[in-house]
Amino acid sequence: MVKKRKPRIRLNRKPIQRKPTLPRLVNHEDPMVSIIIPAMNERATLAGVLREAGRVHPRSETIVVANGSTDGTAELAKASGARVIRTPEPLGHDVGRRVGAEAARGQVLLFIDADMVIPARELRPYVKAVLAGVDVALNGYSGPADRKEAHPVVLAKHVLNGLLHRSDLRGASLTAVPHAMSRKGMEIIGLDALEVPPLALAKAVRLGLNVQAVHTVPVGKLNPARGRMQNKGKRVDPLTALVAGDHLEAIHWLLRQQGPRGGYGDLGRQRGKVR
């Protein structure tokens, strides 16, 4: 008798997986760490970002500033258990962070973006540094500097740090995530200045806060290039002009604080000799 071939049934086959239910974030009622995430139409990456945020610290709250979103970003954040602040209009990263900082209740404020998933182990060093006494913990990422001419934004960051007598920070900046700051740092810098990150950094350094580049996450490689304008056939990012202008605002603040030469000497030049 010919054995009829049995249809093969894989008995150990895993059951068909439904989409995993979102791991719900637990917002501590008296948080030590506030994780602030501005998000504009970031449904695609937000779940991953929130999952990692939830693993950063046992006593944390996660605040999503859903601005100008039409793709259900806010609903997804809500469903994940994050605190959600909604604004119909887009805010941009900087104003979004300020809005989040205003609502934060923790002693440590960790700022990340919704469009790139950074593992929690890469975020904890920033929180740890602030818990250990650093006021502003920056990402040590400086941007590419191996060519003769740096990108305008990279140049501006290095110049500002140099003018602040903090060349050791190289191109580290509050414009880059991840970064964290203490509540004391936020209060001394002021919420308004947080909207202009280079100004916030200038204030932090000049007003005596402990500012350190504590850990490096190469965000340049993670950041997608987007929203570029064409100018004379070259691709120009409008953000470049915004960031360059922000650095000028920081330098202007420095001028007002320290006089027209920003505290640098004139080496005894006899200016009166020339009419």
Partner 1 sequence: MQVCFREWARAERLDHKPIGTILAASLAYRRGYAAAAGLNTPWIPLPLSGSASAIVTASNEEKTLPAVVAELRKLPLQEIIVVLNGCNDGSFTAVDRDPRITRLSFPERLGHDVGRAIGAAAATGDILLFTDGDLSVAAEDLAAFLIAIDQGEDLALNDLSPYLPPFSQQDEVTRCKAFLNLALGRPDLKANSLTAVPNALSRRFLRTVGTAALIVPPKAQALALARGLKAVAPISVDVIRKNRIRTSNSGTGNAVAQMIVGDHIEALGEVMKTEGVRLRFTTLGRSELAKMRNAR
Residues contributing to the site for partner 1 (CB under 8 A): 40-41, 67-68, 89-95, 145-150, 152, 154-156, 158-159, 162-163, 167, 195, 226-227, 238-239, 241-242, 244-245, 248-249, 251-252, 254-255, 260-271, 273-275
Q: Min. distance of Cβ 234 from partner 1 in angstroms?
A: 11
Q: Min. distance of Cβ 235 from partner 1 in angstroms?
A: 13
Pick 87 or 107: Cβ nearer partner 1? 87
Pick 35 or 251: Cβ nearer partner 1? 251
Instruction: List, in sequence order, every residue forming a beta bridge with 139; answer none if it has no partner.
Output: 215
As a whole number of angstroms, the distance between CA 185 and CA 178 comes to 16
Q: Min. distance of Cβ 259 from partner 1 in angstroms?
A: 9
Q: Min. distance of Cβ 258 from partner 1 in angstroms?
A: 9
Contact indicator for 151, 144 with CB cutoff of 8 Å: yes
Q: What is the 3-state secondary structure (H, E, C) of 200-258?
A: HHHHHHHCCCCEEEEECCCHHHHCCCCCCEEECCEEECHHHHHHHHHHHHHHHHHHHHH
Pick 8 or 234: Cβ nearer partner 1? 234
Pick 92 or 190: Cβ nearer partner 1? 92
As a whole number of angstroms, the distance between CA 170 and CA 47 comes to 33
As a whole number of angstroms, the distance between CA 250 and CA 243 comes to 11
